[in-house]
């Protein structure tokens, strides 16, 4: 039983939790909640059986506590960076002379799994002045509002920051 | 209650500015970006309407609207790339 | 008592969220080219939605779960849509601003 196969039950659990979040409403009675729970279990298992093969090879694997801890750390770092990004963007937008120096730089990444790359790309897009445009074999192409460094390594250190280390903890 | 009027005023000004870019924007992509920003604002506005009318069920409208907006942006991107 | 405090915190979140919407659309008007506009509008409106929904959730605590699901969905999908649109626009031939300093993506295509 490979680690990919082990991830299948967790997919059903995540789907069930999302379903319960959808059907919950204030003042729901116990009886109808139990009915919704049964329907949720059936739907989650059915969807898992039908679609689990599309999740293989993406790097989505089981919830080891260490991964969950890394993911929570990643989430809070991400929220903080996002607030900083927005204050920075507010400063740029509101200053009269528009202090921008845009360009597209290339950044290498050592992450391999598609899911890890997706999270890194999303995090980059939502944080200071950077927007992921495309991935290829060597790395990511990133549009940057204030280009501080054109070199691949140093730009990568500024842009990716702590995200890549945390994501490596989540997906390794 | 006056607070809600202020919020609605700010949202109305935002929608107005976004609509300016939507109508003027030199290329189709500019319009798509403006539309994306406007759908985010509309999602927030739907949630505000749900809060003001105290109907929990209206939140589903906002949820479906957000999902459809995402599908729409992806469809526009595919079209621009010639894959549709 | 505690609900009153949460209510006022929620109002603050809602107000900050709507200010971010305003900033995003001002950026949409002022920025010189598509990619900079995208940067301004995507980031600020995403954080705006997040802040707005959390604010409404604090004002009406029983709605919090569903609002968090909507917020999570928006935060996950907005950057994906922006990236797809940016790449599609680049491949459709929309130029960078003429004062841009570097364009590694173009060098890739010439190779």
Query: How many separate domains does chain A show?
Result: 2
In a domain, A93, yes or no: yes
Residue A60 lies in a domain: no
Same domain flag for A7 and A87: no
Average pLDDT, chain A: 76
Co-location of A109 and A157 in the same domain: yes
Q: Are C61 and C6 in contact (CB under 8 A)?
A: yes
Same domain, A25 and A75: no
Touching chains, C (3+ CB pairs < 8 A): A, B
Report the pLDDT value the prediction gives residue A5, as an integer from 0 to 100.
54
pLDDT in tens, B31-55: 888 888 888 898 888 998 888 888 8
Quote the CA–CA distance of B33 and B25 in Å, as a whole number: 9
**A75 shares a domain with A46:** no
Q: What is the pLDDT of residues A154-172, one digit of tens each?
A: 766 767 777 777 777 776 6
For residue C97, pLDDT beyond 80: no
Q: C50 to chain B: nearest residue by CA? A: B44
Whether residues A87 and A167 share a domain: the answer is yes
Sign of CA dihedral C33, B13, A90, B75: negative
List C residues 38-97 in contact with B (Cβ-Cβ < 8 A). 38, 41-42, 45-46, 48-49, 52-53, 56, 59-60, 62-63, 66-67, 69-70, 73-74, 77-78, 80-82, 84-85, 87-89, 91-92, 94
- Residue among B47, B82, B81 at smallest CA distance from B63: B47
Q: What is the pLDDT of residues A95-153, one digit of tens each?
A: 877 777 777 777 777 777 777 777 878 888 877 677 887 777 667 777 777 777 666 66
Dihedral angle computed from the Cα positions of residues B24, B27, B33 and B37, in that order, rounded to the nearest 10 degrees: 10
Instruction: Note down the domain range covering A19.
Output: 3-55
B43: chain C residues, CB-CB within 8 Å: 49, 70, 74
B56 touches chain A (CB under 8 A): yes
Residue C69's pLDDT band (cuts 50, 70, 90) = confident
Here the tokens at position C28 are: 């949409």
Highest mean pLDDT, choosing among A17-31, B4-18, C25-39, C91-105:
B4-18
pLDDT at residue C99 in the model: 65
* Domain match, A99 and A161 both: yes
Co-location of A100 and A50 in the same domain: no
On the question of pLDDT at C111 being above 60, the answer is no
pLDDT of residue A2: 47
Query: How big is the B-C interface in CB pairs under 8 Å?
Result: 146
Both A94 and A14 in one domain: the answer is no
Cα dist from B24 to B18, B20, B73, B76, C17, whole Å: 10, 6, 19, 18, 26
Mean pLDDT of A57-86: 76
Mean residue pLDDT across chain C: 82
């Amino acid at each position: 039983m490979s680690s990919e196969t082990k991830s299948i039950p967790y997919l059903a659990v995540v789907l069930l939790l999302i379903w319960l979040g959808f059907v919950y409403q204030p003042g729901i009675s116990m009886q109808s909640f139990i009915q919704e729970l049964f329907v949720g279990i059936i739907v989650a298992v059915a969807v898992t059986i039908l679609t689990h093969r599309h999740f293989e090879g993406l790097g989505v694997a089981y919830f080891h506590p260490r991964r969950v801890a890394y993911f929570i750390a990643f989430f809070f770092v991400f929220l903080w960076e996002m607030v900083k990004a927005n204050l920075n963007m507010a400063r740029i937008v509101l200053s009269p002379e528009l202090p921008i120096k845009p360009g597209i730089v290339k950044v290498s990444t050592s992450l391999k799994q598609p899911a890890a790359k997706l999270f890194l790309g999303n995090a980059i897009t939502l944080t200071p002045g950077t927007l992921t445009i495309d991935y290829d074999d060597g790395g990511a192409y990133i549009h940057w509002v204030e280009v501080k460094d054109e070199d691949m390594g140093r730009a990568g250190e500024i842009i990716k920051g702590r995200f890549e280390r945390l994501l490596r903890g989540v997906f390794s | 209650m006056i607070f809600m009027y202020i919020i609605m005023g700010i949202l109305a000004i935002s929608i107005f500015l976004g609509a300016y870019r939507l109508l003027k924007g030199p290329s189709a992509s500019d319009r798509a970006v403006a539309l994306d920003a406007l759908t985010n604002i509309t999602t927030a506005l739907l949630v505000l309407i749900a809060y003001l009318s105290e109907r929990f069920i209206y939140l589903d409208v906002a949820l479906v609207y957000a999902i459809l907006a995402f599908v729409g942006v992806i469809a526009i991107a595919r079209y621009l790339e010639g894959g549709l | 008592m505690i609900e009153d405090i949460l209510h006022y915190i929620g109002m603050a979140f809602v107000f900050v969220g709507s200010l971010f919407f305003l900033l995003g659309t001002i950026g949409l008007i002022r920025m010189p080219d598509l990619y900079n506009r995208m940067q301004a509008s995507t980031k600020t409106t995403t954080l705006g939605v997040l802040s707005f929904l959390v604010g409404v959730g604090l004002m009406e605590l029983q709605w919090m779960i569903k609002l968090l699901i909507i917020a999570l969905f928006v935060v996950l999908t907005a950057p994906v849509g922006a990236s797809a649109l940016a790449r599609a626009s680049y491949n459709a031939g929309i130029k960078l601003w003429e004062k841009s300093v570097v364009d590694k993506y173009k060098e890739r295509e010439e190779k």
